Structure 1
Amino acid sequence: MEATSKRSSHLCHENGDWMSHLPENLWDVPLHNLSLPGSHDAMTYCLDKNSDVSVNESKLLQVIDKCMPCIIRPIIMKWSITQDILREILKWLQTHPQEVVILACRNFDGLTKELHHHLISCIKKIFHSKLCPKDVVPTLRNMWTYRYQVIISYEDVTEVMNHRELWPAIPYWWGNKTAARDLIQYLERMKKNGRPDCFFVAGINLTSDLEYILAHPFGSVKKMALSSLPYLKLWIKKQYPGPKRECINIIAGDFIGNYDFVNDVIELNKKIIPPLHYDGNETELKDVS
């Protein structure tokens, strides 16, 4: 644990200003046409000992939870991480004024209208003028000019319509696979169908189903993720950012401080040659083999 912590801290320091270090000819390219590293585990909701299993889980898992909560919940808890880090993000942004973060708010199980308003109010209060409105073309040059540093993706259509600071939900290519090879096959199928026009995430996170959890009672999401990273690393290095059909944008995974994940994703931006000027319309990027 200590070694992993030191590695993550070093990685954060090493790449803390990576956006400001991008070449100037990328400053006018929309962020959704760049390659961005993302974390799937940064703000994951976690069960406590008194929580019910989410309705998003399988019916079998819900039944077992009702019948044997003292058995199933301690196992499920090992596969979750809870972090309330909005204010920590703000502190980090204040010391990295040219960096931009994209936060995705989703999976609002049981969230009432009042709670939505409370959450949005907290987001606005914490980030305030750093929030980028959705009518702004999110290039680095624009973000720096207006001192925007935060893009909030919100998975509620009504709230997005009511608040210009909230961006539509970002599509997440979630393979729901327990094996890295199966996950890559899923991602390649999604690429052939064509990328979305704006932000989207290619998730390289594996998912533990009930069968996997019961077969690995002493396992964890971390062990599962770390064992797959070397294989997934090879897939990442073959990707290209940009607006073309099979290009990627955000690549997100669990425990991204390992195996140079962040460096590999950032390096993909060297594969694109943008136009010298961007007029706010569709940007055409060329891939460099």
Structure 2
Amino acid sequence: MTAEDSYTTWMGDLSPELTRVPMCSLAIPGSHDSGAYWLDKAGGIAEDEPSILRSMANSCCCVVPIVHRWSLTQKLTVKGQLEHGIRYLDLRLCGRPGSPDVYVAHGLYGHKLVDILMEIKEFLNENPKEFVILDFNHFYNMTSVDHRQVLHLIIGTFGAKILSGDTSMSAWKMTLENIWKTPARIMVFYDHPSRNEFPFFWSEEYIQSPWANTANSLALVNFHERNYNQNVRRGAGELYVWQGILTPSAKTIMANLCSSLESKLVPRATPAFLGWLKKKVPSHVGINICTVDFVDKHDFVREVLSLNKRIQS
């Protein structure tokens, strides 16, 4: 990516007209399973996988490398994704036996959550006009104590930078122009009841994220086309995630043991999704957050951000 293609500060670089558009009506690039850019092959199968797979890994040394290839969903670090233009992060959390820390996980264990949060904080400190949406919606092997630990960790890391879930700002006033008048630079969704003990976090009722659950690119496109044409978005100002991902079934993996998610599915998923997006329009009932695996491929960020030109016209 050349200097002129950099999207590190794309929010701060928007035209004044677009900074007055509600967040629910902007086209925003996001990453699917954002923390799975590095996974620990020496740490064993993570608790998000069935126990039978963990047992198989103990008796067969080839299991972990296969899981590793099919579980990696990103190449860039979280900070690298943000510098590449990503503004929505999807993080899956898992308690790790024998460790007091909470980790990101996808098949295998990734980095500690605390380290990823520090990457996000560093990015926001370096780029004060950028705004990040953080979505925690998958949890494994975590107790209520673990959840409270995570919530306190998020509050301690970002403090006043968090756009509180009890903000007086309505969905239609939640524009970059208005957000910049506050210290807030991050919005945190947390899909667990422990969230209710704190005013800082948003519930999943304010964000929709339907999943096609298919390994077929045509089925993926048809899924989104139905949702787009049938106006499935409530249009009440909530955020909406269009997931441009293909999901491998056990059959897909077994037929491609030496392949990977990156080489087998992403070359079909992202081009098909971007091709579908080309004629769509961002709005409170149209396109909003868009996510894919391996966000550095296929000019994903540029293609999504180019949709915002249609808002002006």
Is 1:166 aligned to 2:201, yes or no? Answer: yes
Is 1:222 aligned to 2:222, yes or no? Answer: no
Looking at structure 2, the residues matched to 231 and 11 of structure 1 have their Cα atoms a distance apart, in angstroms, of: 27
Contact 2:241 2:289 in 1 (8 A): yes
Shift in Å, 1:77: 2.0
Quote the residue 1:265 is aligned against. Answer: 304
Quote the residue 1:277 is aligned against. Answer: none
Contact 1:35 1:269 in 2 (8 A): yes
After superposition, where does 1:1-289 map in structure 2 within 5 Å?
7=1, 14-44=6-36, 49-51=43-45, 54=48, 63=52, 66-67=55-56, 69=58, 70=60, 71-81=62-72, 82-83=110-111, 84-134=115-165, 135=167, 136-137=169-170, 138-156=174-192, 158-169=193-204, 170-191=207-228, 192-196=230-234, 197=236, 198-223=238-263, 224-244=265-285, 247-273=286-312, 288=313
> Which one is further off, 22-31 or 224-233?
224-233
Q: Structure 1 residues 95, 67: CA separation in 2 closer, same or farther (over 3 Å shift)?
A: closer
Contact 2:209 2:240 in 1 (8 A): yes
Q: Structure 1 residues 147, 73: CA separation in 2 closer, same or farther (over 3 Å shift)?
A: same
Unaligned regions of 5+ residues in structure 2, if any?
73-109
Looking at structure 2, the residues matched to 159 and 76 of structure 1 have their Cα atoms a distance apart, in angstroms, of: 31
Unaligned regions of 5+ residues in structure 1, if any?
1-6, 274-287
Looking at structure 2, the residues matched to 253 and 29 of structure 1 have their Cα atoms a distance apart, in angstroms, of: 24
Which amino acid in the other structure matches residue 68 of structure 2? M
Higher strand share: 2
Q: Structure 1 residues 29, 265: CA separation in 2 closer, same or farther (over 3 Å shift)?
A: same
Give the TM-score normalised by structure 1. Answer: 0.81
Looking at structure 1, the residues matched to 273 and 30 of structure 2 have their Cα atoms a distance apart, in angstroms, of: 15
Looking at structure 1, the residues matched to 176 and 223 of structure 2 have their Cα atoms a distance apart, in angstroms, of: 31
Looking at structure 2, the residues matched to 269 and 205 of structure 1 have their Cα atoms a distance apart, in angstroms, of: 22
Looking at structure 1, the residues matched to 241 and 251 of structure 2 have their Cα atoms a distance apart, in angstroms, of: 26
Looking at structure 1, the residues matched to 10 and 145 of structure 2 have their Cα atoms a distance apart, in angstroms, of: 38
Q: CA RMSD in A?
A: 2.4
Shift in Å, 1:66: 3.9
Looking at structure 1, the residues matched to 23 and 309 of structure 2 have their Cα atoms a distance apart, in angstroms, of: 14
Deviation digits for residues 236-275 of structure 1, max 9, x if unmatched?
212211123xx121000011111211111111111114xx
Contact 1:65 1:73 in 2 (8 A): no
Percent identity over paired residues? 28
- Secondary structure, counterpart of 2:33 in structure 1: coil
Looking at structure 1, the residues matched to 178 and 266 of structure 2 have their Cα atoms a distance apart, in angstroms, of: 36
Which amino acid in the other structure matches residue 284 of structure 2? P
Q: Structure 1 residues 175, 12: CA separation in 2 closer, same or farther (over 3 Å shift)?
A: farther
Looking at structure 1, the residues matched to 157 and 227 of structure 2 have their Cα atoms a distance apart, in angstroms, of: 36
Which amino acid in the other structure matches residue 310 of structure 2? K
> Which one is further off, 69-78 or 251-260?
69-78
Contact 1:241 1:272 in 2 (8 A): yes
Looking at structure 1, the residues matched to 153 and 53 of structure 2 have their Cα atoms a distance apart, in angstroms, of: 36
Q: Structure 1 residues 43, 117: CA separation in 2 closer, same or farther (over 3 Å shift)?
A: same
